[in-house]
Amino acid sequence: MKNEAKELKEVYKEIGSGEEFLNDIKENILSLKKKVRDREFKTFLSGRFDKNDALVEVSSDVGGRDAEDFVAMLFRMYTRYAERKNFKAELISASYGEEGGPEGRVGMKNFSLKIKGKYAFGILKVEGGAHRLVRKSPFSSASLRHTSFAQVEVFPIIDNNDSQLEFKEDELKLDTFKSSGPGGQHVNKRETAIRVTHLPSGIVASSQSERSQAENKRIAIDILKSKIEKLNEEEKRKEQQDAKQENSGSSWGNQIRNYVLHPYKLVKDLRTQIETSNVESVLDGDLDILKDDFF
């Protein structure tokens, strides 16, 4: 591609600067830029599961009701981001906070969001880590400045064709519970929601999106396979790098992004160092502001 550009430049010197020729040059440059962008995209998203759908799991961390409110804000952010990317977002499970917040706000203790679309996991995997919110707390009568955290994990959705995992009956613990909505309202009165625990690893997956207990069980087990497959991939990568990196899971230890609403407005990604003062746009799902051009 560099050679093509060099040849075009040489031809330009010989022919001159006619308008028709300039238009041809512009078209060729745009074509070369597209080739470079496509190459970058394919190189960056070349992981084993990057083409797969994604499961985004978010849970409240330090911060009490503010942290639960932050999780609800992130739910809207990722849902809106999926819409912007023409992906489909489906709520798999959620646990809600207490009623009675300002302006009728009900926070979320956690949620699992399935995002369907080509390269959804590859694009969203960079969201994993601790997210930090700084603002005047709407839950404080004195409007004090408050810091809260939410933990984000992203897993590839892996179907049976991609996974060789098989579970023995005594490796899984199944719990049923009622699907609940905001404020503790039940989606239905039967215990159709399923929580599956993989006893050897302690990894948990749940689903409450379907009315059928059998279907929720199938979805939960698929999610469990996805989590274990990702864990296995990460362990292999660490072994290949011959470097064992501990992850404490603490709010500060794996922090990736700050959202500051007071005393100034700023969102900063701590890994890329990309930042913007347009916090409202980011929280409305415009995450591409914080990403490289080829996304």
- 286 forms bridges with which residues in the sheet? none
pLDDT in tens, 13-65: 665 556 666 667 777 776 666 566 556 556 668 788 899 999 999 999 999 99
Q: Give the DSSP letter string of 7-74.
A: HHHHHHHHH---HHHHHHHHHHHHHHHHHHHHHHHHHHT-STTTTS-EEEEEEE-TTHHHHHHHHHHH
Kindly report the CATH number assigned to the domain that includes residue 230: 3.30.70.1660
- Work out the average pLDDT over 204-220: 87
Inside any domain, residue 258: yes
Task: Note whether 121 and 101 are same-domain residues.
Answer: yes
Task: Note whether 18 and 113 are same-domain residues.
Answer: no
- Work out the average pLDDT over 108-135: 95
pLDDT value for 294: 45
Task: Note whether 6 and 113 are same-domain residues.
Answer: no
Q: How many residues does the chain have?
A: 295
Structural domain total, the chain: 2
- Work out the average pLDDT over 152-168: 80
Residue range(s) defining the domain that contains residue 14: 2-44
Task: Note whether 79 and 34 are same-domain residues.
Answer: no
Task: Note whether 224 and 81 are same-domain residues.
Answer: yes
Task: Note whether 34 and 151 are same-domain residues.
Answer: no
How are strands ordered across the β-sheet holding 266-269? 88-96, 108-116, 54-60, 145-156, 129-136, 255-260, 266-269, 275-276
Average pLDDT along the chain? 82
Q: For residues 2 and 10, is the Cβ–Cβ distance under 8 A?
A: no
Q: Which of 87-91, 128-132, 141-145, 199-203 has the lowest mean pLDDT?
A: 141-145
Task: Note whether 105 and 6 are same-domain residues.
Answer: no
Q: Write the CB contacts of 212 (distance below 8 Å, at least 6 apart in sequence).
A: 192
pLDDT value for 6: 64
Q: For residues 154 and 68, is the Cβ–Cβ distance under 8 A?
A: no
Inside any domain, residue 49: no
Q: Return the SS3 of 171.
A: helix
Task: Note whether 128 and 274 are same-domain residues.
Answer: yes
Is residue 152 predicted with pLDDT exceeding 50? yes
pLDDT value for 143: 75
pLDDT in tens, 5-19: 666 666 666 655 566
The span from the CA of 198 to the CA of 203, in Å, is 5
Task: Note whether 137 and 221 are same-domain residues.
Answer: yes
Inside any domain, residue 295: no
Task: Note whether 141 and 34 are same-domain residues.
Answer: no
pLDDT value for 130: 96
CB environment 148-168: b (16+ within 10 A), e (fewer): bbbbbbbbbbbeeeeeeeeee
Task: Note whether 29 and 125 are same-domain residues.
Answer: no
The span from the CA of 123 to the CA of 116, in Å, is 12
pLDDT value for 19: 67
pLDDT in tens, 245-279: 444 444 555 899 999 999 999 999 998 899 999 99
Q: Return the SS3 of 258.
A: strand
